[in-house]
Amino acid sequence: MLIDEINIVIKAGNGGNGLAHLYSDGSRPKGGPDGGKGGNGGNVYFIAVSDISRLNQFRFPKKFMAQDGQKGDQNNRSGKNGDDLTLEVPIGTVINYDNGTSKEMTEVGEIFLATKGGRGGWGNHHFRSATNQTPREFQPGQKTEFKNIFLQLKLIADIGLIGLPNAGKTSLLNELTAANAKVANYPFTTLEPNLGVTRGGRIIADIPGLVEGAVEGKGLGIKFLKHIERTQILLHCLSAESQDPQADYQTVRNELNNYSSTLANKQEVLILTKSDIVTPEKLKSLEKLLKPKLSVSIIDTDSLKKLNDLIATLLS
Ligand SMILES: Nc1nc2c(ncn2[C@@H]2O[C@H](COP(=O)(O)OP(=O)(O)OP(=O)(O)O)[C@@H](O)[C@H]2O)c(=O)[nH]1
Ligand SMILES: [Mg+2]
């Protein structure tokens, strides 16, 4: 199962304590303060990767901590800095802090400093002065806090395929791209979003079918709609085998409208799918009634080429 939302806890490393130490040996019984500084705690970073299932790694465990800095050492040597921790998240992940701030990862390879390690404390060597040559004073390392993070994946695709279950969305994705996602003659075949890349390098997202009441949680609900919120264009797939295509179209529109104005106002292109399933006369009357931009069938390569060209034009 694709994890697209998850809560995790992260923590940067604590700074190491400074050391209080007075040097002495046989020749120099009062060698002076030589306690070094504590090491800095490690930072926690996020890095964006292209693997959309990367949030799955966070299912267990939920706490991710960078290393603490080590305590300062004698001879004014600093303690070792703690190692940083870098967590991979899929491109399109929004990193939400519980104070309301957030950061979106939009490019593969992008690195974000999520929480900074604590500073190491000064050792007593630092506090020596003309008036105090043997300070015992040292500074503790800075302590860091646990931070609650809500990670939310919003796929970044150019085109989103929407429609009722069984409308032929995944079949089109497979035809237009090198994707090989599951297709079957029953509703709710697609349970998780699929992504594919066209020959022209455009990303298409296929999401589970929508039903009336999806916004209230019917069918698979609308939790997948966020994945197409940022696409440029929605391809609304309407099956030629539908008994009442106008009603089917309206059902999907209603769910989009109820979900968000972003989706409701997004450019939509209507595609009549499975055009081979009806007689040419019936197809003509459907086209007259519904005015789709294109009628397609997965067994009509000419129609698929037209769809490919249409996508290229729409996104140019
Ligand atoms: N005859 C014909 N059948 C098609 C065509 N496109 C899809 N199908 C069939 O329709 C059924 C549903 O196709 P899918 O691509 O799984 O439909 P979907 O919209 O992704 O369905 P969900 O994932 O359940 O929402 C499958 O049996 C496909 O083989 C077409 O152009 N012509
Ligand atoms: Mg599907």
193: Cβ below 6 Å to ligand 1? Answer: no
In the chain, the DSSP E strands lie at: 5-11, 22-23, 32-33, 44-49, 63-65, 85-90, 93-97, 102-104, 111-115, 147-153, 159-163, 194-197, 203-206, 233-239, 267-273, 294-295
* Largest pairwise CA distance in the chain: 108
167: Cβ below 6 Å to ligand 1? Answer: yes
Strongest mean pLDDT among 68-77, 174-183, 190-199:
68-77
Q: Whole-angstrom Cα distance, residue 229 to residue 89?
A: 19
Q: How far is the CA of 311 from the centre of ligand 2 (A)?
A: 19
Q: How far is the CA of 286 from the centre of ligand 1 (A)?
A: 19
Which whole number is the average pLDDT over 147-176?
Answer: 93
- Residue 237: helix, strand or coil by DSSP? strand
Q: How far is the CA of 144 from the centre of ligand 2 (A)?
A: 46
Which whole number is the average pLDDT over 123-146?
Answer: 94
Q: Any bridge partners for residue 148, and if so which?
A: 9
Question: At which residue do the structure tokens 């697209």 appear?
Answer: 4
For residue 111, how far is the Cα from the chain centroid? 13
Question: SS3 letters for 112-153?
Answer: EEEECCCCCCCCHHHHCCCCCCCCCCCCCCCCCCCEEEEEEE
Residue nearest to atom 5 of ligand 1 (CA): 274
Q: How far is the CA of 185 from the centre of ligand 1 (A)?
A: 6
Q: Which atom of ligand 1 is nearest to the CA of 209?
A: 25
Report which residue type is found at 70.
Q
Ligand 1: residue of 171, 182, 191 to mutate (most ligand atoms within 8 A of CB) is: 171
Q: What's the confidence (pLDDT) of residue 1?
A: 65
3's CB contacts (< 8 A; 6+ apart) are 53, 55, 56, 58, 59, 153
Give the β-pairing of 102-104 and 294-295.
Answer: unpaired
* Residue 220 tokens, joined: 């698979």
Q: What is the pLDDT of residues 256-308, one digit of tens each?
A: 999 999 999 999 999 999 999 999 999 999 999 999 999 999 999 999 999 99
* Residue 104 tokens, joined: 């979106």
Torsion sign across C-alpha atoms 222, 223, 227, 231:
positive
Q: What is the pLDDT of residues 214-269, one digit of tens each?
A: 777 777 777 788 888 889 999 999 999 999 999 999 999 999 999 999 999 999 99
Give the β-pairing of 159-163 and 233-239.
Answer: parallel
